[in-house]
């Protein structure tokens, strides 16, 4: 099948497919004259790339997977990538929970300040945490 059909079947744009080929994610593409000819393996790989991107994997991570897959079973690489992605997400959740907690504290301080004094000054709102600059 040609690139237009691959695009239609996978939902990836023609430009994206060409980019995946350019960076080495898609390879072993045969040619019929000046046209690229894709097969079912390319369909599966483009769908995997799209799914992985939707789960937060980068194209460089996908490239590492593709390079490993050429030398061994892809399942170990996929499991390794998923495990790392889960760890990254857990770290992000912890960071977001901390930010949420600090924002709630700041909100409460501001509400308390306004309740006690409608013309509350910023220094009266007890926003002295060093984290305020990072929110």
Pick the CATH number of 1-56 from 3.40.50.150, 1.10.150.530, 1.10.1660.10, 1.25.40.10: 1.10.1660.10
Q: Is the pLDDT of residue 134 over 60?
A: no
Range scoring the smallest mean pLDDT among 77-81, 82-86, 111-115, 119-123? 119-123
Q: Measure Cα distances from 124 to 14, 36, 108, 117, 120 in Å.
A: 58, 68, 13, 9, 6
Closest among 4, 44, 38 to 21, alpha carbons compared: 38
Please choose, from the candidates 54, 58, 56, the residue with its C-alpha nearest in 3D space to the C-alpha of residue 11.
Answer: 54
Which whole-number Å values give the CA distances from 13 to 61, 100, 118, 122, in the listed order?
20, 38, 55, 51
Tokens of 116: 């006690």
- Angle at the Cα of 78 from the Cα atoms of 66 and 84, rounded to 5 degrees: 115
> Which pLDDT tens digit goes with each residue over 31-62?
999 999 999 999 999 998 999 899 999 988 88
């Amino acid at each position: 099948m040609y690139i237009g059909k691959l695009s239609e079947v996978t939902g990836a744009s023609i430009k994206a497919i060409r980019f995946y080929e350019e960076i080495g994610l898609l390879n072993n593409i045969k040619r019929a004259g000046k046209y690229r000819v894709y097969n079912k393996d390319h369909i599966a790989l483009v769908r995997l790339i799209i799914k992985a991107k939707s789960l937060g994997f980068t194209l460089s991570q996908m490239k590492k997977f593709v390079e490993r897959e050429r030398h061994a079973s892809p399942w170990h690489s996929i499991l390794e990538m998923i495990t790392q992605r889960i760890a990254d997400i857990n770290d992000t959740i912890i960071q977001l929970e901390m930010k949420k907690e600090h924002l709630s504290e700041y909100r409460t301080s501001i509400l308390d300040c306004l309740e006690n004094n409608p013309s509350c000054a910023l220094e009266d709102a007890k926003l002295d945490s060093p984290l305020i600059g990072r929110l």
